[in-house]
Structure 1
Amino acid sequence: MLKPLSLMITATILWQFSSSLTLAQSQDPQQADKFPPNPLEITTPDPLLPPLRDKQPLSLPEQQKLETALDELNQEAAAKLQTGDKVAAFEIWNRELRLRRYLSAVAEVTALSRVGEIAWNRSDRQQLYYITQRLQAIQKQAQPKKSKTPNSVDLELLQALGVAYQKVRSPKPAIEVYNQVLAAVRQQKDTSREIDTLKTLAELHLSWFNYAQAAATYEELLKFATSTGERQDELTYLQQLAYIYQQAKQPQKSIDVLSKLQEIYSQNDHQTQLPTLQLAIAANYEILAKDNADLLLEAFKHYQEAYTTAWQLQQYGRAAEAVQKLIPLYRSQGQIDAALQTSQILLEAEARAANYYGMMQAYSQMGQLYLDKQDYPPALTAFNDGLEIARRLKHQEAYFTQQIEKVSKLKGNR
């Protein structure tokens, strides 16, 4: 389970990095001073437009003719960009974008989205600013009057705006737009679109590292999946929540989600994932035990379960990981004999996993534990065994040699 989530954090970090380049809101006068007037707001008559009659909309044949001409402009701009003439390319695209509004708001936003993504990929901050500013103006115009209900919003336009904001890496206004969409589809009782919108919002919140909102949204999605018996969706949302609560450092909520995942994995073909879950649950209990010592027993229990399950599944590396966590817990409680017994299990697990570095560390731990008991002969044996492996690995030879000298002196002084 955690492996796919690690891929997702990489994607999330990349999103946040990209978002840091997003330009400020157009209302910022300091930002506006950085660039010339927005070319997307030029109102000079264009030869491609027929003479406008008292601002009447274009007829259908006129729209079709204009659309064909604008598609040709898009191709021309793309060709310019391929030759390396970025300035000329965006000049042509800006002309295309100015004229798209005469087709429809959705057509304009879709084109802004397309060119915005190109600007983003080319790291053109000035063009991104122009496009973002225009998107904000369209969004403002699309707002329903206070007297109207969410049903009065143009859902198609809002959806297009949401996509466009994502393409120019502006999660915050995208979230605002999708929240409007969510309110509207809920008013319409359109469950399918509500779920789709919640998924988009959850991803956006996560991309902005807003763990609280991301978790709340995934919890909503989880309720939908649980109520409809969509087991695969339920599994996906639980995995997302496990990742979010881990990142947000909320151990109790992590335990709750991981326990649900453990229950699901125990009943299907995902049992190989159980040791990883049990280790994560134990680690969270260990964190909670810092404020509530009684919960240390729960940490012990789940580390032991992780070891047992991993051993049965012949996942000796995972078994060693679980046992490795138990040793310092026993040691912190003064249970040195239990820690030594566990070290023997660790040694066997590392041997089965063919992890020689792990075996060397296990011998080191055993030597230190025997030193705690002032039991020098077995301590000397453990360090000598560790030195033998260290020589093979050509690693930490000096450390084991020093320990052997130290124990030999202590043994001789008795």
Structure 2
Amino acid sequence: MVKYIKLKRFSAMITAAMLWQFGCSVTLAQSKDPQQADRFPPSPLEITTPDPLLPSLPKKQPLSLAEQQQLQIALDELNQQATAKLQAGDKKAAFEIWNRELRLRRYLGAVGEVQALSRVGDIAWQQSDRQQLYYITQRLQTIQKQAQPKKSKTQTNIDFPLLQALGVAYQKVRSPKPAIEIYQQILAVVRQQQDTSAEIDTLKTLGELNLSWFNYPQAATAYEELLNFTTARGASQDELTYLQQLAYIYQQGKQPQKAIEVLSRLKAIYSQNDDQTQLPSVQQAIAANYEILAQENPDLLEAAFTNYQQAYQTAWQLQQFARAAEALQKLIPLYRSQGQIDAALQTNQILLETEVRAANYYGMMQAYDQMGQLYLDKKDYPQALTAFQYGLELARHIKHQEAYFTQQIETVSKLNQ
């Protein structure tokens, strides 16, 4: 579907999703996986040796406000030292300092520690440091487990700022699965608070996270809810974005009927706009989904034909000749599959003219090849031979598939004797 709908923002999101998935394969940070745990030494974040930056206190006694402020200053300095080491090319020393900082951050509270883990985790991902990512994600999971409230009918005992910090941190270390779990909890909280703005933001995050993990049903649920919000508020630009995203999701999730419903709404929107440049793409996408449905219900094949024809006509009117050629290229095999060879040949002739308009020599060569195959279906060997000869001329011009067309000409010449 992405090849049908050109939306820079959405394309960027999909690209980011693919990078995210790559990141997930790098981290693999699940503390319950003994094989993963055996890969790395014990976590430096769990070292218990007393640190000189900590005052001598009785066991479990919290730091005073003055001590916390002093420690905060010292930890900020450690962060600066680690950054300088990394910039100087000493990655090992940098993460040793950051790990010391992270060990001490827990004395300033869980939220501050998670924010620091998030910051360093992002750096570790950028440096492709799997070991450091594992340590940080393992610590985040421990904090998450400790923060889980006891079962209750209300969410009042949840540390909401900590949940938010954990959600961001899991995103920074490119660990979508636990991030999704956290944002589901956040969604429950903001719904209970009836905070519509926060609910919309959380649904957006869940939609993107589920897409990054290729969880299409869950992503669809999030964007369907966002679409409902948008429809109620009359936000046309957001509606357009969510419809495009849902069309992509339904296509990837192999739900052609739902894809058609969403694409039909997009078609109506584009038809009313002054700028209709996206309309041929949507018409072609609708046709492709009808073609899929027609495999089970042949009565829907006519709808596929109609929408491909509309896509071609609209693209031609808009002088989108490459797009018009795409629609025709879909129509020809469809006619051929139904035994309508004459209709396929007529369409192929239009395709040839379209490729000439687009100055697409490769497309012209392919059109002559297809024309030759169609004439072979009719056993019209002289016409097939002529088509392949024209194809060979173009093949020589672009220096591509010359041997193929030469072979076709030799074969058809024998049949034509």
Specify the code of the residue in structure 2 equivalent to 1:311.
Answer: W
Specify the code of the residue in structure 1 equivalent to 2:103.
Answer: R
Change (3 A) 1:270 1:69: same
1:106-126 alpha-carbon deviations (Å, 9 max, x no partner) = 111111111112222223333
Say whether residues 1:135 and 2:140 are aligned partners. yes
Which residues of structure 1 form unaligned runs of 5+?
Answer: none
Specify the code of the residue in structure 1 equivalent to 2:355.
Answer: E
- Partner of residue 248, structure 1: 253
Matches of 1:320 and 1:200, distance apart in 2: 38
Say whether residues 1:391 and 2:396 are aligned partners. yes
Change (3 A) 1:293 1:74: same
The structure 1 residue matched to 2:90, chosen from 85, 94, 105, is: 85
**Matched-pair contact (CA < 8 Å) for 1:330–1:336:** yes
The alignment covers a number of residue pairs equal to 412
- Partner of residue 344, structure 2: 339
Matches of 2:246 and 2:197, distance apart in 1: 21
Say whether residues 1:102 and 2:107 are aligned partners. yes
The offset of 1:151, in angstroms, is 2.7
1:306-358 alpha-carbon deviations (Å, 9 max, x no partner) = 01101110111111111121112222222222122212211111111111222
Matches of 1:77 and 1:391, distance apart in 2: 61
- Partner of residue 225, structure 2: 220
Q: Normalising to structure 1: TM-score of the pair?
A: 0.92
Say whether residues 1:51 and 2:56 are aligned partners. yes
The offset of 1:6, in angstroms, is 4.7
**Matched-pair contact (CA < 8 Å) for 1:151–1:187:** no
The structure 1 residue matched to 2:179, chosen from 171, 174, 177, is: 174
The structure 2 residue matched to 1:160, chosen from 159, 162, 165, is: 165
SS at match of 1:151: coil
**Matched-pair contact (CA < 8 Å) for 1:303–1:322:** yes
Change (3 A) 1:17 1:50: same
Specify the code of the residue in structure 1 equivalent to 2:260.
Answer: I
Say whether residues 1:208 and 2:213 are aligned partners. yes
**Matched-pair contact (CA < 8 Å) for 1:376–1:411:** yes
**Matched-pair contact (CA < 8 Å) for 2:6–2:278:** no
Q: Normalising to structure 2: TM-score of the pair?
A: 0.92
Matches of 1:124 and 1:324, distance apart in 2: 47
Q: Identify the range of structure 1 (360-369 vs 154-163) with the bigger mean alpha-carbon deviation.
A: 360-369
The offset of 1:25, in angstroms, is 2.4
The offset of 1:228, in angstroms, is 0.8
The structure 1 residue matched to 2:294, chosen from 264, 289, 310, is: 289
1:85-122 alpha-carbon deviations (Å, 9 max, x no partner) = 33332222222112212222111111111111222222
The offset of 1:270, in angstroms, is 3.9
Specify the code of the residue in structure 2 equivalent to 1:107.
Answer: G
Matches of 1:328 and 1:223, distance apart in 2: 39
Matches of 2:50 and 2:415, distance apart in 1: 96
**Matched-pair contact (CA < 8 Å) for 1:80–1:89:** yes
The offset of 1:45, in angstroms, is 3.3
1:179-219 alpha-carbon deviations (Å, 9 max, x no partner) = 11111111111111111111111111111111111111111
Higher relative contact order (CA 8 A, sep 6+): 2
- Partner of residue 113, structure 1: 118
**Identical-pair percentage:** 78
Which residues of structure 2 form unaligned runs of 5+?
Answer: none
**Matched-pair contact (CA < 8 Å) for 1:151–1:188:** no
Change (3 A) 1:21 1:400: closer
The structure 2 residue matched to 1:274, chosen from 279, 295, 304, is: 279
1:356-383 alpha-carbon deviations (Å, 9 max, x no partner) = 2222222222233233333344334333
Matches of 2:222 and 2:264, distance apart in 1: 20
